[in-house]
Amino acid sequence: MAGVKETVLQGVERLLQSESFRHAPSSRRLLRYLADHSTAPDADQLKEYTIGIDAFGKSANYDPRLDSTVRIQIGRLRQKLAEYYLSEGKDDAVIIELPRGRFKLQCVVRSAPEAIAVESPVAADTPGRWRTVALVLGSLLLVVLIGGAWVISTMREKLPVAAAVEWSAELEELWQPFLANRPVLLAVGSPLFLQFDNKAIYRDLSIEKWEEMLASPNYKAVNQALVSRESRPVHYYSAVGDLSAAFLIGQRLGMRQPNISVMRSSQLLWQQMADANILFLGPPRFFGERLGHLPVTLEITEGPDGFHNLHPQEGEAALFKYREPDGFFAEDGEACVLVTRSAGPDGNTEIETFASNSTFGRLGAVKAFTDPQFGRMLVTKMRNGGGHIPKYFQVLLKVKYKGGVPTETTYLLHRELHRN
């Protein structure tokens, strides 16, 4: 028992020191509490009521049937464990698990790299079943990759000559960094939803952080109205305009850059940004914080009311509102889109973001950036004294759309960016 306890405590200590848990105080508190009690003789008898009082300071009249704090935090802890062992802890020899339906932590020795026994929020309860699922999914992925390579090869052979006319020298210059040998990751915005155990889905358009969602009055009211026993964060869904834009990028760049893969923006790691070129599609708040930590000095930034032009030139506005009209439900209107190209975290990769609070605006911007005529106009405006476009830049566009279909894209301004 002493050996098991020591192993659990060592594994928990690694988790507590990780980036995944460093800024999650509630998960840290719960993890430490469960670690202290998981090796006790009565660990299997640990109850939700006891955890609520001891770990979260609930009063003696706390009723778990009416207050779902513990269930929410347990679900969040499982999510954090899954994130850690899929990123920072992918090489850990011992995995700390919290099986569903129990409050006792378990240690699992990682037997082989391809059989990692990590429980994700939607995984089965037993490590053996997870290993089977992982192997099956791995085999299916291999089949998909082989099939995709065959399709690309076949498409190249059968591509009509007319399709090649749709590309141009200006588009080649505009997209050149993403046509090199380095792989390209297309990160599509995946907003935060809460999924309740009664299959209801909740979304707050102004919140993208799990901690803020739990603290919001709207969430508390919804949770109380649903009388839900448990909820968990999910990033299953993307906006229809982003899916169309991702397809368009694959269609236009795929013949020149076969190494393109698509992922959810919520899963994008800093290490991936250092290893691959990244194309991002989504609202500014999905990626804005990361942009601020990249090694370039931004000239246009996001604010609560729109894009801020930090150094307006003569005739330029200092503020460009995200969209007109302001309503979230309008499929008719216009929106500003900020295209930013920056260096990656260590300066060896390229990051390009298409950011707007309108999914139709983002689609319009991608169409413009892959259109030969618009590309010719844009490159002409961006050419510097040396006859080339800047290595790093920001371009602000305005997109008009009708019924969710982009109808007109206008160039507003651009700025050259410089390495810090």
Specify if 187 maps to a domain.
no
Q: Say how many CA atoms lie within 13 Å of 38 toward its Cβ.
A: 24
- Residue 129's pLDDT is 45
DSSP-derived pairing of the beta strands 184-188 and 306-309: unpaired
Q: Which letter, b or e, does each residue of 73-112 get, where b requires 16 or more Cβ atoms within 10 Å of its Cβ?
A: bbbbbbbbbbbbbebbbeebeebbbbeeeebbbbbbebee
Rounded Cα gap, residues 372 and 220, in angstroms: 50
The confidence score (pLDDT) of residue 160 equals 42
Residues 293 and 229 in one domain: no
SS3 142: helix
Give the chain's length.
420
Same domain, 387 and 357: yes
Domain end (from 123, 150, 168): 123
Cβ atoms of 374 and 339 within 8 Å: the answer is no
Query: 369 in a domain, yes or no?
Result: yes
Domain that holds residue 219: 193-234
Same domain, residue pair 278 and 230:
no
Residue 21 lies in a domain: yes
End-to-end CA distance of the chain: 53
pLDDT of residue 95: 87
DSSP assignments along 169-218, one per residue: HHHHHHHGGGGSSS-EEEEE----EEEETTS-EE--TT---HHHHHH-HH
Is 148 part of a structural domain of the chain?
A: no
Q: Dihedral of the CA atoms 135, 78, 264, 148 (nearest 10)? A: 0
When divided into structural domains, the chain yields a total of 3
Domain boundary among 92, 123, 154: 123
Exposure of 3 by Cβ count < 10 A (0-12 exposed, 13-18 middle, 19+ buried)?
exposed
| Whether residue 292 sits in one domain with residue 228 | no
User: At how many degrees (to 10) do helices 359-369 and 372-382 cross?
Assistant: 80
Report strand pairing: 333-343 vs 350-355: antiparallel
| Residue where a domain terminates, one of 89, 123, 157 | 123
Give the rounded distance of the alpha carbon of 162 from its chain centre.
Answer: 37
Tell whether 328 and 200 lie within a shared domain.
no
Within a domain: residue 133? no
Quick one: 203 and 57 in the same domain?
Answer: no
Residues of the chain with pLDDT below 50 are 1-2, 112-165
The verdict on 34 and 104 lying in the same domain is yes
pLDDT tens digit sequence for 17-63: 888 887 788 888 888 888 888 767 666 778 888 888 888 888 888 88
User: Can you give the pLDDT at residue 278?
Assistant: 94
Is residue 186 one of the residues assigned to a domain? Answer: no
Residue in the block written with tokens 């109205």: 225
Q: How far is residue 365's CA from residue 104's CA, in Å, rounded to a whole number?
A: 50
Check whether residue 220 and residue 294 sit in a common domain: no
The backbone torsions φ and ψ at residue 210, rounded to the nearest 5 degrees and listed phi first, read: -60, -45
For residue 173, being part of any structural domain is answered with no
Residue of 415, 234, 198, 213 lying closest to 320 (CA atoms):
415
- Confidence (pLDDT) at 3: 61
| 345 and 384 in a common domain | yes
Q: Please tell me whether residues 274 and 369 are part of one structural domain.
A: yes
Has residue 181 been placed in a domain?
no
pLDDT attached to residue 329: 59
pLDDT value at position 164? 42
Output the CA–CA distances (angstroms, integers) from residue 319 to 177, 257, 291, 342, 349, in the order listed.
30, 36, 19, 22, 30
**Does residue 338 share a domain with residue 318?**
yes
Q: Are 271 and 204 within one domain?
A: no
pLDDT at 213: 78
